[in-house]
Amino acid sequence: MKQVKVIGFDADDTLWVNEPYFREAEVKFCQLLADFMPALEVNKILLATEIRNLGLYGYGIKGFVLSLMETAVEISNHSLPHSVISPILDLGKELLQKPVILLDGVQKVLQELNGQFRMVVATKGDLLDQQRKLHKSGLEDYFHHIEVMSNKGESDYQKLLTHLEINPEEFLMIGNSMKSDILPVLNLGGKAIHVPFHTTWEHEHVDEEVDHPNLIKLQKIEEVLEIIPGKN
């Protein structure tokens, strides 16, 4: 880790709780449509709709709500009861106002690494929403800036590295998603630490086991301090 100059932290489900809020919204959505279809099938159609719309809407709550609406229209065979529309819009507004709950150990790790590295938040999602969450989190001062990315593929990380004016081996990414936080960074020649979260969106799943000399797999974010000693 000696060469590392910048540490990128994924935000959702790495720094704070996110995916469970979406799961909760999906459960409510399925209840709204229970007259039309069982929850399992509703979720299947929703996932397909979300993936179909990703290229157009990108990641984040607003695109999610638009996909909920589209799914509802489809499931109800275009006879959507008006009583369902407002509750769907409300689901989105609730999501946008959820409390930001830090994950265990996050505050300690950032505190200990503070000043030793340039640290950035590297996240997908809606710009305003991610800025709101960072602000609410109270973690803002630890980070040089927040980089909201429209996607987290290799070319997106390459742009980030150019922007940060560093070489890949000087970059360490810490995150919960093998697909978005780990694999593209390793492929570019960067370093990565994977800290799993108990809930992962299906579209982010990676089936095969990943092993790589520049990858460290931990169970909790606090174990980062066993790899990179803190200040104290």
Q: Is residue 85 a contact point for a copy of itself (CB under 8 A)?
A: yes
List own/partner pairs for 184-187 with CB under 8 A and 24 or more apart: 184/152, 184/153, 184/154, 184/156, 184/157, 185/8, 185/157, 186/212, 186/214, 186/215, 187/154
Segment contacting a copy of itself by CB under 8 A, of 18-26, 76-84, 166-174, 189-197: 76-84
Q: Nearest Cα to 15, choosing from 130, 118, 92?
A: 130
The amino acid at 114:
N
Q: Is residue 80 a contact point for a copy of itself (CB under 8 A)?
A: yes
By CB under 8 A, name the one of 10, 13, 126, 181 that touches a copy of itself.
126
Structure token pair of residue 157: 């990380």
Q: Is residue 2 a contact point for a copy of itself (CB under 8 A)?
A: no
Instruction: Name 117's bridge partners.
Output: 114
**What is the C-alpha to C-alpha distance for residues 7 and 22, in angstroms, rounded to an integer?**
27
Least distance in Å: CB of 78 to a copy of itself?
Answer: 6
Q: Is residue 96 a contact point for a copy of itself (CB under 8 A)?
A: yes
Least distance in Å: CB of 88 to a copy of itself?
Answer: 8
Interface residues with a copy of itself (CB under 8 A) are 56-58, 60, 62-63, 65-66, 69-70, 73, 76, 78-80, 82-83, 85-86, 89, 92-93, 96-97, 126-129, 131, 145, 148-151, 163
